[in-house]
Amino acid sequence: MSDADQPMYTVRVVAERVGVPTATLRSWSQRYGVGPSHHVPGRHRLYSENDVTVVQRMHALIRDGASPRSAAQMAAESIAPPRGDVEALLSAAFELDLPTLGRLLESHLRHFGVLDTWELVVRPAFAAIVSRQQDEGGCIDVEHALSWAVSRALQRVPLAPSGTTTSIVLACAAGETHVLALEALRAALGERGHGALMLGADVPAWALIDAIGRITVPVTAMLWSHSADTADMDTVRAVSAQAEVVLAGPGWVHVPDVAPGVHVGSLAEALRRWEVSE
């Protein structure tokens, strides 16, 4: 953490520096996520120098006529967050602080992109929560809150431009409900200008085949399986008659031979596949 990101100032000190009441600062933090970006559980929330800069920028924009909501967004975009700040995300997750989770995720996505956010922040945060679950139990609420916040942030990443050819179909295998990794792939593809059709969780083979049949260009279908129970090779063989099939997720690791499908082991590997095929 850089010096500018160190928590240092109380809300009263910041209010005096910015020239607004403490109640206003608390309102901006609660409503718009413009406030202390780091928090140590059990301690008062303290503003860093970067947090103060964002608040000052928001105040100036409001004075110039911007609405508080748009001013908050523009101010937050002006400061890059620490790259890969897992601890801040975990702190907000364990406090079930959805506004802060959203602000941290969207800021990291805006400044560093989907791939870095997924690999450096999201996956390590989930790994830490799973480790805590194994050691101490519980934390299901924390996991679900983080999942919701990540999904919401990823869905805000724009789709590919209108008119872009959609030749990629993303679907979870039948019975599979873990969709977050596919949300990340959709967002990363859109970020790179690739059109992708997201079908989401628990997609029966016949529904996936129907969707492929509605697309007029050659299609690649990405089929996600999180567990061995949903890694269904009958679906792979049926879909492969209509499209190239790429398989992702730990469920396929348990299958000795995934042909005619092709397995990819990470978000980066999946993205390289489409970048190379251009």
Indicate whether 131 belongs to any domain. Answer: yes
Say yes or no to pLDDT of 1 above 60.
Answer: no
Contact 166, 196 (CB under 8 A): yes
Q: Are residues 219 and 202 in the same domain?
A: yes
Domain with residue 118: its CATH number is: 1.10.1240
Residue whose tokens read 């063989």: 237
Alpha-carbon span 36 to 41, nearest angstrom: 13
| CA dist., res. 93 & res. 243, Å (int) | 39
Query: What are the phi and psi torsion angles at 169 (to 5°)?
Result: -120, 125
160 is a domain residue: no
Find the mean pLDDT for residues 219-238. Answer: 96
* Encoded amino acid at 214, one letter: R
The pTM of the full predicted model, rounded to 2 decimals, is 0.79
Based on the domain organization, do 98 and 178 belong to the same domain? no
Q: Determine what percent of the chain is predicted with pLDDT higher than 70.
A: 96
Rg (CA), the chain: 22
pLDDT the model gives residue 159: 85
Check if the beta carbon of residue 37 is closer than 8 Å to that of residue 81.
Answer: yes
Q: What is the pLDDT of residue 30?
A: 86
pLDDT for res 235: 96
Q: Confidence class of residue 80 from pLDDT cuts 50, 70 and 90?
A: confident
Q: What is the mean pLDDT of residues 141-160?
A: 94
Residue type, 88: A
Structural domain harbouring 12:
3-77
- Tell me the pLDDT tens digit for each residue of 165-187: 889 999 999 999 999 999 999 99
> 136 phi and psi, to 5 degrees?
-125, -15
Q: What's the confidence (pLDDT) of residue 100?
A: 85
Q: Assess contact for 71 and 61: CB atoms under 8 A.
A: yes
The predicted model gives 64-82 an average pLDDT of 87
Confidence of residue 82 (pLDDT cuts 50, 70, 90): confident
| Whether residue 220 is found in the same domain as residue 135 | no
CATH of the domain at 34: 1.10.1660.10
For the chain, how many structural domains are there in total?
3
